[in-house]
Structure 1
Amino acid sequence: EAAVQSALASLNPPHLAAMIVTYGPSSYYHSSMRHNGVLELRFVTYAFTMASTSKEAIADPNIKAALDHACANVWDWLKAGPIRRGCTPLRLVPSYEQWCIDLLTHARYDDYWKQPGYGPRPYYDQHADVPTLYVGGWYDSYTRSTVENFIALSRRQKTPVHLLMGPWHHGGAGQPLAGDVSFMPDGGLSDYETVRLQWFDHFLRGMDTGVETRPRVRYFVMGGGPGPQAKAKVMLHGGVWKSAATWPPPGSTPTPFYFHAHGSLTPQPPTGDPEPTRYTYDPADPVPTIGGHLSAISIPAGGFDQRNDPRFPGSRGSLPLSARRDVLRFATAPLEEAIEIAGPIRLKLWVSTDAPDTDFTAKLLDVYPPGPNHPDGCALNITDSICRLRFRNGFEQERLAEPGNAYELEFEMYPSANLFAKGHQIRVDISSSNYPRFELNPNTGGPLGVERRTRAAENALHHSQSKPSHILLPVMKR
């Protein structure tokens, strides 16, 4: 349990000698339970799941039956609105009901989020200085946290700190599949258990397994495969393992790609003053989550063609998500040569809204060209993010928006490593919901976690010379 290990290490216990931390938090507020101010709903569903296996449920079959039924219908409870005290089966296990309400209502970064059990970030300076291997996945729900812990503690510790990042989702370390995507032949990492054993043999048993002479960072660059196959749903995206002394790896350069009117994405900034691109975000009709960085929630995680799919709640039909009116798509021309990225990914958006508050989402995609197995192309999700407008000036304060004003919104996506092959397109989709990965913004500006009202918001993305919205991709020198 990575979170428990990190909480213990934050107390610097004298008998801790070495760790392997797989899929763990750095700060539950900033990039786990909450994400740029927005609650990840997997923890609400997790509260129901944990309550159904609690000591109260084990002791009372009636409580167990009620909570099992609630877990089977958890999407209905989410749709019913914010969890209110005494109004859901969580009332049968008050400790989990209170925990769920706390997650919903502690929207700002306050003392609640600074307890050691919610991640080591506030305690890095007192963290145990022991050899630590951090293991993460590009489709994990703790991708950013894993990298943050490695960077922060490798700067502070005298003992070795290493990083292993594969193309995996939560719980899938060492496996070759993540969602509908295969990273064969190399993504499976057949020696994963050997890697773990060698770490502990070296630092706990004094056996020289060579781990200290290896590069500190080993990461998988996704991409380069042939794509969707005719007789299988699996997409062969491929990829290769690489090593580096640091993260981001040497040669990774933040490179802006600018959004333009009419949907283009280029390294050249926009000129002139075109009208912003406007759309309506209605919480009653959110953009459905199709894979991505998920865990503890009963929908598939990993990479998927971003189109409506009956496996995902809220999907209707089979059209691509980009066909929706509330999804803005910005894409490069088909690439004349491959572009490899590895490192952090940031967005700088200029936005406006007629609502007191709203959210803006972003999704980075690797778009395969049309082919016999996918006649309208295939848009593979690489990473995504969201940011709540009221937290544009920091997470310890809330400032509502004023209609007509344009605001600069800067936020981080989960890091990644991917090769966008020749002939592919790099695409960024912008919207205001990604549900049920993230809670819905009711757009009212009311207190978060308790608001029952909702309204539609008229949102806009600016892409002009004075308001140049763009994404910063960590392009590798080739």
Structure 2
Amino acid sequence: MLRRIWFFLALTLPGAVRETVTVPMRDGVKLATDLYRPEAPGKYPVVISRTPYNKAGQRGVSEYFADRGYVALAQDVRGRFESEGDFYPFVNEGLDGYDAIEWAARQPWSNGKVGTWGASYLAWDQYHAAMYQPPHLTAMFADVGGASLLDEFGHPGGIPNLGWARWLLQSAATSPAAARDPDARKPLMDAAQNAQAWLALDPKKRGQVLVKFPAHARAYADWYAHPTEDEYWRQKGFYTRGNHKLIKDVPIYFLTGWYDYFAEGVLENFAALAKIQKTPKKLMVGPWPHGTGGSECGNAAFGPEAKLDKNALMADWFDHWLKGKEYAVVGPENVRLFKMGGGPGDRTADGRLNHRGEWFTAAEWPPKTTGYKRFYLRPGGALGANETVAAEASYVHDPANPAQSVGGRYGNCVQDQGANRRADVLSYSSEPLKAALVISGMVTAHLSVRSDAPSSDFIVKLMDVYPDGYAMILGEGQLRARGARNELNINVGSTSNLFAAGHRVRVDISSSNFPRSEPNPAKANNAVYQGGANASYIELPEIGN
């Protein structure tokens, strides 16, 4: 019977046996799955990763698990690589994930305990499957999976994020249709190789490259057709936030980095599920980008203590929940956070800023603060602890000449922001700090603004400026405002950093951030008010050192 359902190719690996099988979904679609199992016969716990990026990329970690007494499944999601069916990002992963989990639990090599793991899309699809309450799902390891695709990757702050356009382009270029038709694939590859020029095109013209890839063209059109939260973005696969109560109550380990673009969603998911569920939830946040675990991020170095053996952490988590072993790596704390900063600020052998940092623990997220440090925008580009007389600073937003993205969550992590030399970027700096300032939590900005355009975008960046002028970006937030006059509250992002004595706090404000975000097409005369009844300021969550 199984041979009628499965196509499999068995390969013997050192310490593991690999098979490629096809797993049937409830609608008859078969999903290609690489199965790694120990050589010795028996019943084992199972760990599953489901990916749109080619299951072959999961081989290393899957073999790692098989060598440690697990059966590991790596599956191409519906419509990707070797799997059958039609692909549409995120929306099919719930029931397919459920079916994969329950199929694995029924196999003769399974002991009925199933864990799921993976990063980014591979974490989102875990949440989605868990919303359907698979009976045999026992534990999860969710790495950089967010809460709202609209808010974190589709239209953050109401502004189109061009990272989604690039993702759809790359997805189309690696689709089965592209593999079958190299001529249709070539325009996709040309666009990817000249991404900045492609992203600068008018949205409709930009989307023409997807014309021979209907599923991706539809997802691209849907992205623009739904700029605000509606039923489209509230589909379960996009909207973990609205479905926390549906997620099965199992132990979950959450992992993210301060420079991960899904960081806010990870933090939100952890806090919400820790509150409403009974099983343990743990959170680790390091000085990492979307790819977690390294000791460097962009051109900053955080020291060897920042490096994480992610495989060992995952194995320890699953050893506890799927095998009943005591923890050897996972600590007793609920929350483990990396506080950046405190380094000498010299350069490492490869030229990176030696910012360093250290780990600390907390009972919850966000950690308890000792207060909020407010810095007011002042005339002449100063940041001060007190309000000043009423004034304003104005600039012109020109969509044909947008301010460029430099580092940050949606860029190449930590980069020296340098001194501001653009007339359309307002820059404010504090005096050198007399004592260290330690922050951990959400940074917020309150801006009192005006504009002569129907809508205008406001982007805020927070930096830690070294005495030598190196400006290290810590967070960035954005919001699209409509109308002539607005009071804006902008989330600049969650972070944890020690501003050393002698450093400055810096805030930059602009109305464009390309190619992270699509420039607002309306040319605008914008202004930010300072002092008086319309004071603008940034607020930092201060904690004890």
The equivalent residue for 1:388 is 480
Q: Does 2:296 correspond to 1:177?
A: yes
Query: 93-102 or 8-17, which moves further after superposition?
Result: 8-17
Matches within 5 A, 1:251-330: 251-268=369-386, 270-273=387-390, 275-294=391-410, 301-307=412-418, 320=419, 322-330=420-428
Report the alpha carbon displacement of residue 289 of structure 1 after superposing the two structures with TM.
Answer: 0.8
Residue 33 (structure 1) aligns with:
154
Structure label with greater radius of gyration: 2
SS state at 2:539 partner: strand
Which residue number corresponds to residue 192 of structure 1? 310
Amino acid at match of 1:288: Q
- Corresponding residue SS for 1:42: helix
SS at match of 1:227: coil
Structure 1: which 5+ residue stretches go unaligned?
A: 295-299, 308-319, 371-376, 391-400, 444-455
Q: Does 1:8 align with 2:129?
A: yes
Question: What residue in structure 2 maps to residue 338 of structure 1?
Answer: 436
**In structure 2, what is the Cα distance between the partners aligned to 1:165 and 1:460?**
36
Quote the Cα distance in structure 2 between the aligned partners of 1:212 and 1:77.
45
Query: Cα deviations across residues 228-287 of structure 1 (Å, max 9, x unaligned)?
Result: 42864311110001111111212353332211111221222x2332x2111111111111
CA–CA separation in structure 2 for the residues paired with 1:214 and 1:14: 27
In 2, distance between residues paired with 1:32 and 1:65? 26
Match of 2:459 among 343, 350, 361: 361
- Alpha-carbon distance, 1:105 to partner: 2.6
Residue of structure 1 in register with 2:470 after alignment: 378
> Which residue does 1:438 correspond to in 2?
517
Deviation (angstroms), 1:73: 2.3
CA deviation digits over 1:125-146, x for unaligned, max 9?
Answer: 1111110011000111111111
Please name the residue that 2:108 is paired with: none
Q: Secondary structure at the match of 1:36?
A: helix
Higher normalized contact order (CA 8 Å, seq sep 6+, divided by chain length): 1
1:125 counterpart SS class: helix
Report what 1:151 is aligned to: 271
Residue equivalent to 1:64: 185
> 1:66 Cα shift?
2.8
1:17 aligns with 2:138: yes
> Matched residues, percent identical?
37
> What's 2:288 paired with?
168
Distance 1:111 1:16, change over 3 A: same
Instruction: Give the CA RMSD over aligned residues.
Output: 1.7
Contact 2:188 2:210 in 1 (8 A): yes
Q: Which residue of 2 aligns with 1:314?
A: none
Match of 2:41 in 1: none
Cα deviation per residue 1:160-183 (whole Å; 9 max; x = unaligned)?
011100001112x22111101110
Q: 1:408 aligns with which of 480, 483, 487?
A: 487
Find 1:89's aligned residue among 209, 228, 252. Answer: 209
Report if the CA contact (8 A) 1:362-1:428 is conserved: yes
Distance in structure 2 (CA, Å) of the matches to 1:356 and 1:66: 35
Residue pairs, 1:341-352, within 5 angstroms: 341-352=439-450
| Alpha-carbon distance between aligned partners in 2 of 1:159 and 1:100, rounded to the nearest angstrom | 38
Where 1:215 maps in the other structure, the secondary structure is coil
Shift of 1:331: 1.3
Structure 1 residue matching 2:273: 3-state secondary structure? helix
CA distance in 1 between counterparts of 2:325 and 2:204 reads 52
Does the residue aligned with 1:92 lie in a helix, a strand or coil? coil
Cα contact 2:155–2:228 (8 A) shared by 1: no
The C-alpha deviation readout for 1:209-230, integer Å capped at 9, x for no partner, is 1678611000100111122428
Question: Distance in 1 between the 2:348 and 2:362 partners?
Answer: 36
Of 401, 420, 424, the match for 2:503: 424
Q: Single out whichever of 27-36 and 427-436 deviates more from structure 2.
A: 27-36
Aligned partners of 1:253, 1:12: CA distance in 2, in Å? 41
**Once the 2 structures are TM-superposed, how far is the Cα of residue 32 of structure 1 from its aligned partner?**
2.6
After superposition, residues 195-274 of structure 1 pair within 5 angstroms as 195-209=313-327, 214-229=332-347, 232-268=350-386, 270-273=387-390
The question of 1:458 aligning with 2:537 is answered: no
Against the structure 1 CA distance between its residues 89 and 219, is the aligned structure 2 distance closer, same or farther, given a 3 Å change threshold? same
Question: How far apart in 2 are the matches of 1:207 and 1:28?
Answer: 36
Select between 59-68 and 361-370 the one with higher mean Cα deviation: 59-68
Give the corresponding residue for 1:101: 221
**Would you tell me which structure has more strand in proportion to its own residues?**
2
Please state whether the residue corresponding to 1:18 is helix, strand or coil. strand
Task: Figure out how many residues of one structure are paired with residues of the other and give that number.
Answer: 424
Structure 2 unpaired stretches of 5+: 1-121
Q: Which moved more, 1:46-55 or 1:6-15?
A: 6-15
Paired position in structure 2 for 1:50: 171
Distance 1:212 1:236, change over 3 A: closer
Q: CA deviation at 1:124?
A: 1.0
Give how far 1:362 is off. 0.4
Opposite residue 527 of structure 2, the aligned amino acid is A
CA contact 1:288–1:436 (8 Å) conserved in 2: yes
Provide, for residues 16-42 of structure 1, a one-character-per-residue CA deviation record: whole Å limited to 9, x for no partner. Answer: 111111011101112232211112111
In the aligned structure 2, how far is the partner of 1:11 from the partner of 1:470? 44
Maintained 8 Å contact 1:29/1:113: yes
Is the contact between residue 3 and residue 119 of structure 1 (CA under 8 Å) also seen in structure 2? Answer: no
SS of residue in 2 equivalent to 1:116: coil
